[in-house]
Amino acid sequence: MMNNMKFKSNEDIITDCTETIRLNPNDADAYCGRAFMYAVFGDYDKAIADYNEALRIDGNLEMVYYNRGQMYTEKEDWDRAITDYTQALRIEPHFAKAYCYRGRAYYEKKDIEQAIADLTKAIQYGPKLIEAYFYRGRAYGEKKRLRTGVSGL
C-alpha cells in the first residue's frame, strides 16, 4: 500500500494553494498555507505578502501575526517583529511563543529589561518552552555584562 502513495512536493503545495486562491480569493487559510511554503523556501518577502492578504481577510488571526512576526525575525526586522508579536498577544494574551520571540526581538534591540519581562512571561505560560529559558539566560548575561562593564560574554 505504501508504494502507491504519492506525496506532494513543496512546489505542488504552492501550486495547489495558488489555485485555491484563484478560485476563492477570500480563503485566508490558502494564503497561510502558501506563505508557510514560501517560508520553507526562505522567500520571506512572498510569505509576508501572503500573510498580509490573510490578515486583510481576517485581522483576528493570532497565528498569522505570529507567523509574520517570525518572517520579520528571520529578516532581523526587529521593530516589525515586535509589532506583530504584540498584535498576536492582543488577540491571545497567554501566547507563550509570541512572548518568547518578542522577548528575543527586544534582546536584539538591546532593550534587556523588556526582553527579560517578556521571556519570563513566556516561561510562565509555556514552562516547557526551551527557547525562552535560552534567550532569558542570554538577556541576564547581557544585563550583568552591562552592569559590570565586562565585555565579550
According to DSSP, residue 9 is labeled P
Same domain for 86 and 135: yes
Give the tens place of pLDDT for each residue, 34-56.
999 999 999 999 999 999 999 99
Give the tens place of pLDDT for each residue, 16-38.
888 989 999 999 999 999 999 99
Give the tens place of pLDDT for each residue, 53-112.
999 999 999 999 999 999 999 999 999 999 999 999 999 999 999 999 999 999 999 999
pTM, 2 dp: 0.87
Same domain for 41 and 17: yes
Residue 5 maps to a domain:
no
Same domain for 139 and 71: yes
Angle at 115 between CA 147 and CA 68, to 5 degrees: 150
Mean pLDDT, rounded, for 120-142: 96
Q: Which domain holds residue 111?
A: 65-148
The three grid cell numbers given for residue 134, joined into one nine-digit string: 535560552
Q: Are 39 and 66 in contact (CB under 8 A)?
A: no
